[in-house]
């Protein structure tokens, strides 16, 4: 059975893995940061038994709630059922959107550049650090 990290050894496969891992890391890291910022900013006190007291009217945001918020924010216009309450979490949400809008198209552009260099006549990819090329030689006699 082929594992995810053994998808392929070519540049195209590597770039696909980079895009997938970038999206996964952005979503997971931002979800954790968002839930921690929201909960810590609205925390009033911690009792001796470990229970937390939050600002009145505030509901605790669990990681799965923050994950839902991040996915809905990135892939739709947002439903508004969970939203950023304080300024720091609003900044976190703006950074999430800017980071995703900058990184994902850049990496997708790199993938399309690799696809444009792909030839149906070429069986092996050259491992050149610079632009890849194919040299065609031969002799034509009339």
The burial class, CB within 10 Å (0-12 / 13-18 / 19+), for 31 is buried
3-state secondary structure 74-121: HHCCCCCCCCCCCHHHHHHHHHHHHHHHHHHHHHHHHHHHHHHCCCCC
Contact assessment for residue 4 and residue 40, using Cβ atoms and an 8 Å cutoff: no
Q: Any residues with CB less than 8 A from the CB of 80 and at least 6 apart, and which?
A: none
Listed residue (136, 131, 102, 135) closest to 114, CA to CA: 131
Residue 53: per-residue pLDDT: 74
Listed residue (122, 31, 125, 39) closest to 73, CA to CA: 31
Residue 76: per-residue pLDDT: 85
Domain boundaries, the chain: 7-116
Residue 25: per-residue pLDDT: 93
Phi and psi at residue 30, in whole multiples of 5°?
-65, -35
Listed residue (97, 96, 38, 26) closest to 66, CA to CA: 38
Residue 1: per-residue pLDDT: 42
SS3 (DSSP) at 46: strand
In a structure prediction context, what are the per-residue pLDDT tens digits for the chain, which is 142 residues long?
445 555 566 788 888 888 999 999 999 999 999 998 988 877 777 777 777 777 777 778 889 999 999 999 988 887 888 888 889 989 999 999 999 999 999 999 988 888 887 665 555 555 556 666 667 778 778 7
Domain 7-116, architecture per CATH: Orthogonal Bundle (1.10)
Residue 102: per-residue pLDDT: 93
pTM score: 0.69
């Amino acid at each position: 059975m082929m594992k995810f990290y053994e998808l392929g050894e070519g540049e195209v496969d590597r770039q696909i893995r980079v895009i997938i891992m970038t999206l996964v890391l952005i979503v997971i890291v931002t979800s954790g940061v968002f839930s921690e910022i929201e909960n810590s900013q609205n925390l009033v006190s911690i009792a001796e038994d470990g229970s937390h007291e939050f600002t009145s009217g505030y509901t605790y945001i669990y990681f799965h709630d923050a994950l839902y918020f991040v996915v809905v924010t990135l892939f739709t216009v947002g439903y508004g059922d969970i939203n950023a309450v304080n300024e720091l979490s609003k900044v976190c949400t703006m950074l999430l959107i800017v980071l995703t809008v900058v990184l994902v198209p850049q990496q997708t552009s790199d993938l399309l550049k690799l696809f444009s260099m792909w030839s149906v006549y070429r069986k092996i990819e050259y491992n050149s650090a610079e632009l890849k090329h194919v040299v065609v030689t031969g002799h034509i006699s009339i």
